[in-house]
Amino acid sequence: MSSHIDHQKGLLITAIGGLALTADIPLIRLADGGAWTILLLRTGSTFFATLVIWAIWRSLSRNAPQLIPGWSGLAVAICYGLTSLTFVTAVYHTSTANLVFILAFSTVFTGLLSWLFLKERPHLATVLTMLVMILGVLIIVGGSIGTGHLFGDFMALCSAFLIALAITISRASGKDMGFTSLISVVLPLAVAVFMVSGEGGIQVSAPWWIIFNGAVIMPISFFCLANGPKYISGPEVAMFYLLETVLAPVWVWMVFAETPSRDSLIGGAVIIVALVAHSAWQLYEGRKRRATLAVSHPA
């Protein structure tokens, strides 16, 4: 029963994080600034908010999580820090639809890394889903040839891999990585400060959007998503990142009237259908296992 409750808790926490994350790209776009300025304000406000929250938590309880729990925490922090760099770069070099659909590939990377390093061997259905998703990404990237989006697509793919790597390390360690994912912004913050100083100062039209994003949205989303691997498997955590895949293009279309390309829609549809089918299969298998246990161990 305790294991079931922990699993439900993990699903709820991770779902909250995934939903919050869907506002990230629209808020970056609303701020309307240079890439390095956006990165500076986003990471700077996240870093400040993290220190304030952690200090308050620490003053109220001696059981406050560590900012960086050991070497595994440092590795996770580096992964998330690099993700901030590649993600913001991708926002400025490819379409929103391409970015979020390619980020969905993190589920494939997470499944492969869990198989290689955690010995969590995927089912045949999972492997087939991964192959279909690879096809979807190839369709999206193929449509970007000649459009100038290839570099942005590659940065999105790097983000997907780094997220998967962070999830896998967190899962293997079993440690609380909630604050680790947030304090990791020190790396991109340092890079952004250096780059902005060379550009002659901050360049942004509506700074409050990105400050709100960094101070509120990022702490909620990354704290919840980074805590997910304590309770549920890596591939399950990666699935909740996919809420951004579905909802972010909708928000961007509603606010900016940015219509995805045909190849992006086709590739994205392939990815989403594959994931929905796989999730339905997982739900069916879970119910079948619980029914079998109920028959084997009647009350």
The string of pLDDT tens digits covering residues 183-242 is 999 999 999 999 898 877 788 999 999 999 999 999 999 888 888 877 777 667 777 777
What token pair was written down for 72? 């595994």
Q: Is the pLDDT of residue 294 over 80?
A: no
pLDDT score of 119: 79
Residue ranges making up the domain that contains 96: 2-296
Phi and psi dihedrals of 61, rounded to 5?
A: -150, 140
SS3 62: coil
Q: Count of alpha carbons within 13 Å of 224, Cβ hemisphere only?
A: 21
Higher pLDDT among residues 298 and 80, named by residue? 80
Q: What is the mean pLDDT of residues 135-149?
A: 71
What is the reported pLDDT for 297? Answer: 56
**Residue range 74-85: mean pLDDT, rounded:** 94
State pTM to two decimals: 0.77
On the question of pLDDT at 148 being above 70, the answer is: no
DSSP SS3 for 177? coil
Query: What Cα–Cα distance (Å) separates residue 276 from each residue in 201, 270, 293?
Result: 45, 10, 26
- What is the C-alpha to C-alpha distance for residues 187 and 140, in angstroms, rounded to an integer? 30
Local confidence band at 157 (pLDDT 50, 70, 90 cut-offs): very high
With bands split at pLDDT 50, 70 and 90, how would you rate the model's confidence at 283? low
DSSP 8-class letter at 95: -
Nearest CA-CA partner of 102 in 133, 70, 67: 133
Beta partners for 204? 33
Average pLDDT over residues 269-274: 81
Q: Taking 90 as the threshold, does the pLDDT of residue 83 lie above it?
A: yes
Q: In angstroms, how far is CA 72 from the centroid of its own chain?
A: 19
Q: Which residue has the higher pLDDT, 247 or 290?
A: 247
- 284, pLDDT greater than 70: yes
Average pLDDT score over residue span 128-142: 78
> Whole-number mean pLDDT of the chain?
83
* Mean of pLDDT values over 72-86: 94
pLDDT score at 262: 81
Q: To which H or E segment does residue 286 belong? A: helix 262-296
Cα(105)–Cα(203) distance, rounded to whole angstroms? Answer: 32
Q: How many domains does the chain have?
A: 1
Distant-in-sequence, close-in-space partners of 279: CB < 8 Å, separation ≥ 6: 239
Which whole number is the average pLDDT over 110-116? 85
Residues whose CB is less than 8 angstroms from the CB of residue 138 and which lie 6 or more positions away in sequence, other chains included? 267
